[in-house]
Structure 1
Amino acid sequence: MQDRYAGDVGDFVKLGLLRAISPGRKLGVAWYRYPDESHNGDGRHTGYLQDRDRKLAQLDPELFEHLKSVVRTERSIRSLLTVLGDAQSSDEPLDICSVPATRRRNWRAGWFERVMDDLNGCDLVFADPDNGMTDDDHRRQGRAKFGKQIPLSEALRLSEGRTAVIYHHNTRRAGGHDAEIDHWMSVIGAPCLAVRARAYNCRTFFIVNPDPRMAADVRQFCDRWAILKVSLHTGQHG
């Protein structure tokens, strides 16, 4: 997550999902905060806020109006927290670029342990890396772009003994997005739902260890938010 993304359509969906499934739970958010970049136009998908017929605003009026204000005034991670109630937040910058390459593996390990401490006591956690899931190949762990990813090992740690929602930005993996989602559900191994959101670009939310009530809440959310191309994955593991 980068501050410059705050308020775009991806935030509308992910915050809407969290608001739909978190009542009665202690929510914690691991922002995977990456320094703002300027080499591309990511984060520009705010046209949904025009919503002249109010169909999108009706999905979550409070959230919609808040994000309009965020885009107009302060686009930052901090500005998003107020719509998540008493959620615990872990937003230490994942500024791995500032760390010498030879020290990045150890630095990342220490950073993640601090995230785990920040989210202690939460029974629902959300991880929000820019690019989503990746494997644990040690060769990538010294690269700068590793700061934009969550390796499988961290996703599994976050979901131990609780529910975790893991953001993934779909890629050009061979076989297409259905096969990509099935792959990650398979390697996660635990009970898992996958919520797909395909408005503007393709993203998936892996919901690991959902209980029956949460599974029902997720299905209701997908039905209600279908106008933004939100759906429950129905592939091999759907």
Structure 2
Amino acid sequence: MQNRYAGDMGDYSKLGLLRTLHLAGFSIGLNWYLTPDETHNSDGRHVNYLYQDEYRACDPALWTALGSLVRLDNREVRYMESDDILQATFFSDCLDFRRKKKAKRIELRSEWFAKSLDVMAGNEIVCVDPDNGLVVSSAKGKPKENKYVLPEELASYYAQGSTVVYYQHKARYKDEHYIGQLEELLRREDLPSVSGMVLKFEKVSQRYYMFLIQPKHKKMLEKAVKGMLATAWGDYFRQLYPVKA
């Protein structure tokens, strides 16, 4: 996540999903995986949905709140850390790797993540929102690694008893590629008794929300997602995994 994205279509989909889960009775933690703003592209400009009534129907209160944020140019995550937008525990410390050597990056990330674990502890659902999603081999150990979540970080949140939801950017690969990444995670020994789910948001810039589900949350979570897909959100979200008969 970068502050310049605040209030865009990605936030509408993510916060809409988390608001649904909160209304279903789950306590929510959100680690923005905040990184410094970049300037090399125009990402974050997907805000036309705020002027289209068909999107308003999904969650009118959220649509109105994010519209106010964008129009006032309050495009920072701190303006979304409000009960009016999402009742949650937030972690918004910035993971800044600029001008840092590899050893220092490792040290910074370790300290940053340990702090986030303490803040997120006790929440039934922890959502993590890295720019790009699950780390890929080409980014490991590199300065851009802060734009990804690491498998061991997901496992650490899970070990605290939380169901974990992580954002996954859709690049040039087909859905099966990202489902395969999730299935590989589900085989990890440090994710005992885990089950998975994938929701794909299919409008404008496509993205996935990948679930690592605790057994104790499974029935309640599946009911909440089914209910969400029966609303106006069902025009934009699709469940890809597990595949329903």
Instruction: Give the TM-score normalised by structure 1.
Output: 0.89
**2:182 corresponds to:** 184
Shift of 1:201: 1.9
C-alpha distance 89-78 of structure 1, shift in aligned 2 (>3 A)? same
**In structure 2, C-alpha distance between the alignment counterparts of 1:20 and 1:63, rounded to whole Å:** 11
**1:80 corresponds to:** 80
Aligned pair partner of 2:205 in 191, 198, 201: 201
C-alpha distance 87-55 of structure 1, shift in aligned 2 (>3 A)? same
List structure 1 segments (4+ residues) > 6 angstroms apart after TM superposition.
235-238
Is 1:227 the counterpart of 2:235 in the alignment? yes
Shift of 1:29: 0.8
**2:190 corresponds to:** none
Unmatched runs of 5 consecutive residues or more in structure 1 = none
Shift of 1:182: 3.0
**In structure 2, C-alpha distance between the alignment counterparts of 1:184 and 1:237, rounded to whole Å:** 17
Amino acid at match of 2:211: I
3-state SS of 1:206 partner: strand
Is 1:218 the counterpart of 2:219 in the alignment? no
C-alpha distance 40-63 of structure 1, shift in aligned 2 (>3 A)? same
**Is the contact made by 1:70 and 1:79 (CA closer than 8 Å) also made in structure 2?**
yes
Shift of 1:220: 2.1
Q: CA RMSD in A?
A: 2.0
**1:156 corresponds to:** 155
C-alpha distance 185-220 of structure 1, shift in aligned 2 (>3 A)? farther
**1:126 corresponds to:** 127
1:23-62 paired onto structure 2 within 5 Å: 23=23, 24-51=25-52, 54-62=53-61
C-alpha distance 140-106 of structure 1, shift in aligned 2 (>3 A)? farther
Shift of 1:78: 0.9
Q: In the comparison of the two structures, how many residue pairs are matched?
A: 231
